[in-house]
């Protein structure tokens, strides 16, 4: 239950009476009482005051008093020199189904509190902080009601602070500016290392999600949800000194007026600021908070939306059955044939088919309608690649054309913006695509924020330093992958594009554009199909690479959407083991960095009875021959523990099939 101090606890006094108790803290508890948010007014050095919040977890301080304020127009920040004039407490349960996600059913209880504040002077502007506390984290957002003192919203910046109770260890997505593709490493550093005293933050913004570990207190992931009508949030450490361990929000500026982040009408609400909190990082990966806080499904008929794996021409350099590269209709039919033979529902046709940036006209290389018609005879559907700026200009003409052609989905690339208009682009695409029965995969993109609940035709997003980097350098490695499992993956579906079968040791790897290698073992590539969740999953290598390879069977078998997800164990940058359920079967993926590892895997996620475990694991010599995989079967029960031996850069993939009558 919610606990409110003084008049707010009783909830019986008028808002004006509550204002007399403005310095008494308002308290919001999670249903299990382990997360506690405090809201109040804190005096400042200039004899004024500011609105703040703080957070405890298991009775330990996780966030110290942190400011809440909005910079609107040419006025002082709304959040300074204010008083609390009232509050509303409540509770609820998010109870809904998800399609093609990491879980199929969600039941998540929360307690809520709305804090109403007003300026003491000036124009006496008002705002509300809406907050929710779940057992797995907290969320809050700013709400600006219609009022005479403001004719509209001209938001310059949001001054939301996250003052950590100690110098945490952070895994931060360091980005160069507001126009990136979110394709970078997560830098592991103490919070103080990001202080703007000439360090990292003097050159980089930190994108979402941000993973933080306060030893002895909590693991936390900072994210955002329901961004519609707003711009994306980044954070920096502005402390300017060696002892500063806190972050503050920075909103992506509008292109047409870089002095503004958001412009609009009243009433207006910000995106949700989401802080997942747990005892270990695996619980963060399992969380559905970002979906809980998003709008419900807006597509009435979703029967045409289907997840699935796809053959793909681009990663291997358009290599055909003769071993030569060719971007032609006949060669793309080869990839369609491969999808059909493998039981994949899709073929992904990448860039090169359109006449320059005109995405309504063919250039004569690949005849998309002919390819789509050919694929239909093989019971395969085709996705096509699009350049984002062309979509912005030609969406209304192009999408009906693709529906006429019979295209199943569109991969939109190089968006590279998350300002207010850029965020609106995602919603416009999702809505327009749904009207023409097109599924969507966003690339060169902001990390997910729950849009795929609202528009389930949005199947996936890139927003990650993916396997494509093997074509040009060494930026993708088993170390990065073990970090992504606890950072980028928390945000939502991740189109990392696994499946490389030209596996190499760390010393034996060389970057090449055609038939690229991948660092790490083949068994790790299999494991990624379970660990890196996305309902639109690439099978990235060439058909020749998979020919006569027994390990390919796991890629053919593994689903792409799940009913349940359990993180068995792991540590960012070191290893990860994730189990997922589809129907009555379970699948498990385990991977390690360059350190060989023996993992003890309790099977208590399994149901009753016996299961046949089809195990694909690193062969005994995989440290030297990373393409070698041992395949075996074993009968197991939920009371047992499996021992897995992972080679350097190695992995293990397991399918658990219930045994009839056992």
Cα Rg for the chain, rounded, in angstroms? 26
CA-based torsion, 348, 351, 354, 358: positive or negative: positive
Q: What is the pLDDT of residue 10?
A: 33
For the chain, the average pLDDT equals 94
Q: What is the pLDDT of residues 316-327, one digit of tens each?
A: 999 999 999 999
Contacts with 418 (C-beta within 8 Å, 6 or more apart), sequence order = 178, 231, 232, 252, 446
Q: How far apart are CA 419 and CA 424, in angstroms?
A: 9
Q: What is the pLDDT of residues 365-419, one digit of tens each?
A: 999 999 999 999 999 999 999 999 999 999 999 999 999 999 999 999 999 999 9
Q: How far apart are CA 508 and CA 479, in angstroms?
A: 16
* Closest to 32 (Cα-Cα) out of 110, 96, 92: 110
Q: How far apart are CA 169 and CA 147, in angstroms?
A: 43
Measured at the CA of 412, the angle between CA 406 and CA 418, to 5 degrees, comes to: 145
Contacts with 472 (C-beta within 8 Å, 6 or more apart), sequence order = 511, 513
All CATH 3.20.20.70 domain ranges in the chain, comma separated: 466-535+550-662
554 pLDDT band (50/70/90 cuts)? very high
pLDDT above 70: percentage of residues in the chain: 95
Q: What is the pLDDT of residue 9?
A: 36
pLDDT (mean) for 277-295: 98
Instruction: Please give the CATH topology (third level) of the domain spanning 466-535+550-662.
Output: TIM Barrel (3.20.20)
Q: What is the pLDDT of residue 7?
A: 37
Q: How far apart are CA 149 and CA 162, in angstroms?
A: 29
Q: What is the pLDDT of residues 251-270, one digit of tens each?
A: 999 999 999 999 999 999 99
Q: What is the pLDDT of residues 466-491, one digit of tens each?
A: 999 999 999 999 999 999 999 999 99
Q: Which residues of 286-312 are buried (b: 16+ CB within 10 A; e: fewer)?
A: bbbbbbbbbeebebeeeeebbbbbbbb
Q: What is the pLDDT of residue 432?
A: 98
Mind giving me the DSSP string for 451-473? HHHH-TTEEEE--S--GGGGGTS
CATH 2.70.98.10 correct for 3-292: yes
β-bridge mates for residue 599, sequence order: 644
Q: How far apart are CA 371 and CA 322, in angstroms?
A: 19
Q: How far apart are CA 551 and CA 628, in angstroms?
A: 9
For 201, which DSSP code? G
Q: What is the pLDDT of residues 63-97, one digit of tens each?
A: 999 999 999 999 999 999 999 999 999 999 999 99
All CATH 2.70.98.10 domain ranges in the chain, comma separated: 3-292
């Amino acid at each position: 239950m919610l606990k409110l101090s003084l008049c707010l606890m009783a909830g019986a006094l008028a808002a004006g009476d509550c204002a007399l108790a403005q310095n008494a803290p308002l308290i919001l508890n999670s249903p299990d009482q382990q997360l506690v948010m405090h809201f109040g007014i804190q005096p400042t050095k200039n004899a004024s005051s500011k609105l703040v919040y703080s957070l405890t977890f298991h009775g330990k301080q996780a966030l110290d008093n942190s400011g809440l304020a909005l910079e609107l127009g040419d006025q002082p920040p709304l959040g300074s020199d204010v008083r609390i004039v009232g509050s509303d407490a409540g509770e609820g349960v998010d109870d809904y189904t998800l399609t093609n996600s990491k879980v199929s059913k969600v039941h998540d209880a929360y307690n809520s509190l709305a804090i109403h504040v007003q300026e003491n002077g000036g124009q006496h502007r008002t705002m509300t902080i809406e907050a929710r506390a779940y057992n797995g984290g907290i969320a809050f957002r700013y709400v600006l009601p219609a009022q005479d003192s403001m004719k509209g919203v001209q938001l310059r910046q949001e001054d939301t602070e996250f003052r950590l109770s100690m110098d945490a260890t952070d895994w931060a997505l360091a980005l160069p500016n507001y126009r990136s593709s979110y394709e970078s490493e997560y830098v592991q550093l103490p919070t103080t290392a990001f202080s703007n005293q000439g360090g990292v933050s003097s050159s980089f913004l930190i994108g979402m999600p941000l993973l933080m570990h306060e030893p002895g207190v909590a693991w936390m992931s900072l994210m955002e949800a329901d961004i519609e009508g707003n711009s994306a949030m980044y954070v920096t450490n502005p402390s300017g000194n060696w002892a500063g361990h806190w972050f503050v929000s920075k909103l992506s500026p509008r292109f047409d007026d870089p002095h503004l982040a958001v412009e609009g009408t009243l009433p207006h609400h910000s995106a949700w600021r989401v802080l997942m909190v747990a005892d270990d990082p695996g619980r963060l990966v399992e969380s559905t908070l970002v979906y809980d806080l998003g709008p419900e499904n807006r597509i009435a008929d979703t029967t045409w939306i289907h997840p699935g794996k796809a053959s793909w021409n681009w990663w291997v350099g358009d290599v055909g059955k003769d071993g030569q590269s060719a971007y032609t209709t006949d060669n793309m039919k080869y990839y369609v044939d491969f999808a059909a033979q493998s039981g994949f529902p899709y073929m992904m046709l990448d860039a090169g088919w359109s006449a320059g940036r005109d995405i309504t006209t063919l250039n004569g290389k690949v005849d998309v309608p002919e390819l789509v018609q050919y694929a239909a005879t093989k019971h395969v559907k085709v996705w096509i690649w699009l350049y984002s700026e062309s979509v912005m200009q030609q969406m209304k003409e192009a999408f009906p054309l693709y529906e006429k052609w019979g295209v199943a989905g569109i991969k939109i690339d190089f968006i590279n913006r998350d300002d207010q208009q850029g965020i609106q682009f995602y919603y416009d695409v999702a809505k327009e695509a749904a009207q023409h029965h097109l599924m969507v995969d966003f690339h060169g993109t902001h990390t997910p924020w729950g849009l795929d609940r609202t528009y389930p035709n949005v199947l996936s997003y890139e927003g990650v330093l993916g396997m494509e980097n093997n074509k040009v350098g060494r930026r993708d490695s088993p170390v990065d992958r073990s970090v992504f499992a606890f950072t980028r993956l928390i945000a939502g579906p991740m189109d990392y594009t696994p499946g490389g079968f030209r596996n190499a040791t760390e010393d034996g790897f060389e970057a090449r554009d055609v038939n690229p290698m991948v660092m790490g073992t083949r068994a790790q590539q299999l494991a990624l199909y379970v660990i890196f969740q996305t309902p639109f999953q690439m099978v990235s290598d060439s058909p020749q690479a998979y020919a006569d390879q027994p390990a390919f069977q796991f890629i053919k078998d593994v689903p792409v959407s799940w009913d349940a997800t359990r993180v068995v164990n792991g540590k960012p940058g070191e290893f990860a083991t994730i189990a997922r359920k589809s129907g009555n079967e379970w699948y498990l993926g385990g991977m390690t960095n360059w350190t060989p590892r023996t993992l003890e895997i309790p099977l208590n996620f399994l149901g009753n009875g016996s299961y046949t475990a089809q195990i694909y694991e690193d062969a005994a010599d995989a440290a030297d021959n990373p393409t070698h995989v041992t395949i075996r079967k074993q009968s197991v029960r939920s009371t047992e523990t499996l021992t897995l031996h992972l080679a350097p850069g190695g992995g293990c993939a397991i399918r658990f099939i219930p045994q009839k009558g056992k």
